Amino acid sequence: MAGKKKKVVLKNYVSGFPKLSDFEVVETDDAIRSVPPEGSEAVVVKNLYLSCDPYMRHLMSTNKEPLRMESFVLGEAIKGFGVSKVVASGHPDYQVGDYVWGFTGWEDYSLIDKPQALFKINHTADVPLSYYTGLLGMPGLTAYAGFYEKCSPKKGEYVYVSSASGAVGQLVGQFAKLMGCFVVGSAGSDEKVELLKSKFGFDEAFNYKKESDLNLALKRYFPQGIDIYFDNVGGATLDAVLLNMRNHGRIAACGMISQYNLDKPDGVYNLGTIISRRVEIKGFAVFDHYSHYPQFVETITQYVKEGKIEYVEDAAEGLENGPSALLELFDGRNVGKKLLVLDRE
């Protein structure tokens, strides 16, 4: 652990779309982080894979409302979910050599003071470690809890997923197909649309950027209406969906990426339909569902081994490419789950 290491830092708080110049990759001396402080329960981890997730946009600003999490500290390594290996531990639950996933830093090594939400990985050769940044980690559990718990899906229901090729969306669509639902996804490029249909088994998919009227597009794909909308984008898409919900429909409000870079959010005008159609809109956050992680990981690992779930990653390499990898999320350049590889071990 000797020598100079790198970290990705935020230089200034962001308004509007984040830019590469808002970030800096700086050299850091990790030596001081190589052992936990005497008597503490901290662990030190070597970071292997870092997860690029839309919620991180909130942490680039000082407005804490969106997630009520601490914003990034300027000049320090930004934070996010990642897969790491324990290299020193003062905590009885974590041993040197353990693979873990959880909230860590965008740097080579991180000191984690309070490892309560650090999940141990039961690593086996048939599932790549990187999957714990997505399919088997936070985004996977998000898809699982949001779809099965918040949407109460039933066989034969009509399901729409926005941002459908992303880390969460691709899984929601596949869960819905496994449940016997009719599933339509939208994404922002023809390449992604093709992926949804050919790889993930969506019944239909469309490029929302090519639709001049989302309401009409949804009426085309769902002439009978939508039972379940898994919302990753909010804004105008949510508004159009509200005109197309069926009676007793459910909307899982998972994310609103279309709104994250706006100074003033878009208005949503069609909420009146939730009364006439008795629709429920359910905001949720994955950390309320951590207790379901063991059941989740067992189920999904089995699905992966049986070939029932496909999963597409979009990996960038090295901390120096961290900022550009992260920013791809906000102009939709990533295809599949975006992550950053530091060390493939």
The answer to the question of residue 197 lying near a copy of itself (CB under 8 A) is: no
DSSP 8-state secondary structure symbol assigned to residue 203: S
Q: Out of 282, 292, 299, 333, point to the residue binding a copy of itself (CB under 8 A).
A: 282
What DSSP line would sit under 17-41, residue for residue? S--GGGEEEEEEEGGGGSSPPTT--
The answer to the question of residue 155 lying near a copy of itself (CB under 8 A) is: no
Segment contacting a copy of itself by CB under 8 A, of 4-12, 62-70, 156-164, 306-314: 62-70
Q: Out of 67, 117, 236, 335, point to the residue binding a copy of itself (CB under 8 A).
A: 67
Which residues, numbered 201-240, are part of the site for a copy of itself (CB under 8 A)? 234, 238
The answer to the question of residue 273 lying near a copy of itself (CB under 8 A) is: yes
What DSSP line would sit under 279-315, residue for residue? -EEEE--GGGGGGGHHHHHHHHHHHHHTT-----EEE
Least Å distance between CB 14 and a copy of itself? Answer: 17
The answer to the question of residue 283 lying near a copy of itself (CB under 8 A) is: yes
- Strands 158-161 and 226-231, bridge-based pairing: parallel
Q: Out of 91, 277, 292, 333, point to the residue binding a copy of itself (CB under 8 A).
A: 277
CA 11 vs CA 71, 107, 252, 253: distances in Å: 13, 15, 34, 31
Helix (H) or strand (E) holding 241: helix 235-242
The answer to the question of residue 38 lying near a copy of itself (CB under 8 A) is: no
Q: Out of 285, 314, 328, 335, point to the residue binding a copy of itself (CB under 8 A).
A: 285
Q: 148 or 284: whose CB is closer to a copy of itself?
A: 284
CA 221 vs CA 117, 160, 186, 206, 248: distances in Å: 40, 9, 11, 9, 19
Q: 37 or 265: whose CB is closer to a copy of itself?
A: 265
24 CB-near residues (< 8 Å, 6+ apart) = 8, 9, 11
The residues that touch a copy of itself, with contacts defined as CB under 8 A, are: 65-68, 234, 238, 253-256, 259, 264-285, 288
